[in-house]
Chain A
Amino acid sequence: MRIILIYFRKIIKKIRLIYNQISILHNIMNNQNNIKDVSGLNSFFRLKIGESALIIDLAIGDNQYYRQRLLAQGVVPGEILKIKHAAPFGDPIEVSLSSGRSFIIRREEANIIKIVKLDSIEK
Chain B
Amino acid sequence: MLSRKPQIQITLIGTPNAGKTSLFNYLTGEHNLIGNWDGVTLDLAKSSFNYLGNLIKVNDLPGCYSLVASKQMSLEEKLVCEYVNELREDVFINVISIENLNRDLYVTLQLLEQNCYMLIVLNTHINKNDQYCYKDQQKLVVYLKNTLGCQVVCCNVVTGFGILELKKSILEQANCVNNKQNDFLTLQKYISPQTLENLYKHIGSGLFDSVGKLIRFLEGDVIVNGLQKNVDLSLIADPCHSSCNQQWDVFFASKRHEFIKKNFIIDHNNSSIIKKTKFVDILDKITLHQYFGLPVFCAVIYLMFFCVTEIGNLTQNLVTALITKGFINPINQWLNLFDCPGWLLGIFNDGIAVGVSTLCNFIPILLVMHICLFILENSGYIARAVFLIDRLMGFLGLSGKSLIPMIIGFGCNVPAIVGARVIEQKRDKIITILMTPFMSCNARLVTYSVFAMAFFESHQGNIIFYLYGVGIISAILTGFLLQKILSGSRTKLIMELPKYSIPSLNSIFKKSIYRVKKFLTDSGLLVISICTIIAGLKNIHFSQCDLLNCIVFKYVMLFFKPMGILADNWPAVAGLFSGLIAKEVIIGSLNSFYHTNNQEIFGVLYTQFGGYKAAFAYLLFVLLSFPCVSVVTSIAKELDTRWAIFSVIWTTGLAYVVSVFYYQIATFNEHPMYSTKLLLLIASVLLATLVTIKMIIRSNKRHDAKLIPIVVGQ
Query: What is A's interface to B at a CB cutoff of 8 Å?
Result: 12, 49, 57-58, 60, 63-74, 76-78, 85-92, 94, 99-106, 109
Q: How far is the CA of A50 from the CA of B15 in the complex (A)?
A: 28
| B288 with A94: CB separation less than 8 A | yes
Q: How far is the CA of A63 from the CA of B387 in the complex (A)?
A: 21
| A71 with B253: CB separation less than 8 A | yes
| A91 with B391: CB separation less than 8 A | yes
| B492 with A94: CB separation less than 8 A | no
Residues on A with beta carbons closer than 8 Å to the beta carbon of B284: 85
B77 to A: closest C-beta gap in Å: 8
A114 to B: closest C-beta gap in Å: 11
Contact with A along B476-508 (1 / 0, CB 8 A): 000000000000000011111100000000000
Residues on B with beta carbons closer than 8 Å to the beta carbon of A73: 65, 103, 494, 496
A115 to B: closest C-beta gap in Å: 15
B110 to A: closest C-beta gap in Å: 9
Residues on A with beta carbons closer than 8 Å to the beta carbon of B392: 88-89
A25 to B: closest C-beta gap in Å: 17
Residues on A with beta carbons closer than 8 Å to the beta carbon of B103: 72-74, 101
Residues on A with beta carbons closer than 8 Å to the beta carbon of B107: 72
**B638 sits at the interface (CB 8 A):** no
Query: What is B's interface to A at a CB cutoff of 8 Å?
Result: 65-66, 68, 70-73, 100, 102-103, 106-107, 219-220, 246-247, 249-250, 253-254, 257, 261, 265, 268, 284, 288-291, 293-294, 386-388, 390-392, 394, 400, 424, 492-497
| A77 with B288: CB separation less than 8 A | no
A86's partner among B70, B102, B265, B290 (CB-CB below 8 A) is: B290
| B106 with A68: CB separation less than 8 A | no
Instruction: Please give me the residue from chain B that is nearest to A58 by CB atom.
Output: B250
| B290 with A103: CB separation less than 8 A | no
| B250 with A77: CB separation less than 8 A | yes
A50 to B: closest C-beta gap in Å: 12
Residues on B with beta carbons closer than 8 Å to the beta carbon of A70: 494
Q: How far is the CA of A104 from the CA of B66 in the complex (A)?
A: 17
Which of B253, B294, B386 counts the most chain A CB atoms within 10 A? B253
Which of A49, A65, A69, A74 counts the most chain B CB atoms within 10 A? A65
B382 to A: closest C-beta gap in Å: 13
B387's partner among A65, A101, A104 (CB-CB below 8 A) is: A104
| B72 with A92: CB separation less than 8 A | no
- How many A-B pairs have beta carbons closer than 8 Å: the answer is 126
Residues on B with beta carbons closer than 8 Å to the beta carbon of A57: 250
Residues on A with beta carbons closer than 8 Å to the beta carbon of B247: 58, 60
B267 to A: closest C-beta gap in Å: 10
Q: Would you list 17 pairs from A and B whose C-beta atoms are within 8 A, ordered by A residue? A: A60-B247, A65-B70, A68-B68, A68-B249, A71-B249, A72-B103, A72-B106, A76-B257, A87-B388, A88-B391, A89-B391, A90-B290, A90-B391, A92-B390, A99-B261, A104-B497, A105-B494
| B496 with A103: CB separation less than 8 A | yes
A94-B249 contact, Cβ under 8 Å, with A74-B102, A88-B294? no
| A76 with B106: CB separation less than 8 A | no
| A76 with B250: CB separation less than 8 A | yes
How would you classify the secondary structure of chain A's contact residues: helix, strand, loop or mixed? mixed
Residues on B with beta carbons closer than 8 Å to the beta carbon of A92: 387, 390-391, 400, 493
Q: How far is the CA of A3 from the CA of B103 in the complex (A)?
A: 46
Instruction: Please give me the residue from chain B that is nearest to A70 by CB atom.
Output: B494
Q: How far is the CA of A102 from the CA of B100 in the complex (A)?
A: 10
| A76 with B390: CB separation less than 8 A | no
| A78 with B254: CB separation less than 8 A | yes
| A87 with B493: CB separation less than 8 A | no
A99 to B: closest C-beta gap in Å: 6
Instruction: Please give me the residue from chain A that is nearest to B424 by CB atom.
Output: A65
Q: How far is the CA of A48 from the CA of B102 in the complex (A)?
A: 27
| A88 with B291: CB separation less than 8 A | yes
Q: How far is the CA of A77 from the CA of B496 in the complex (A)?
A: 20
Residues on B with beta carbons closer than 8 Å to the beta carbon of A104: 386-387, 390, 493-497
B249's partner among A67, A74, A87 (CB-CB below 8 A) is: A67
| A88 with B72: CB separation less than 8 A | no
| B257 with A74: CB separation less than 8 A | yes
| B493 with A69: CB separation less than 8 A | no
| B294 with A101: CB separation less than 8 A | no
A87's partner among B102, B293, B492 (CB-CB below 8 A) is: B293
A5 to B: closest C-beta gap in Å: 10
Residues on A with beta carbons closer than 8 Å to the beta carbon of B100: 101
Q: How far is the CA of A95 from the CA of B107 in the complex (A)?
A: 21
Residues on A with beta carbons closer than 8 Å to the beta carbon of B386: 104
| B493 with A105: CB separation less than 8 A | yes
| A72 with B497: CB separation less than 8 A | no
| A69 with B66: CB separation less than 8 A | yes
Residues on A with beta carbons closer than 8 Å to the beta carbon of B394: 91
Residues on B with beta carbons closer than 8 Å to the beta carbon of A86: 290
B65's partner among A69, A89, A94, A106 (CB-CB below 8 A) is: A69
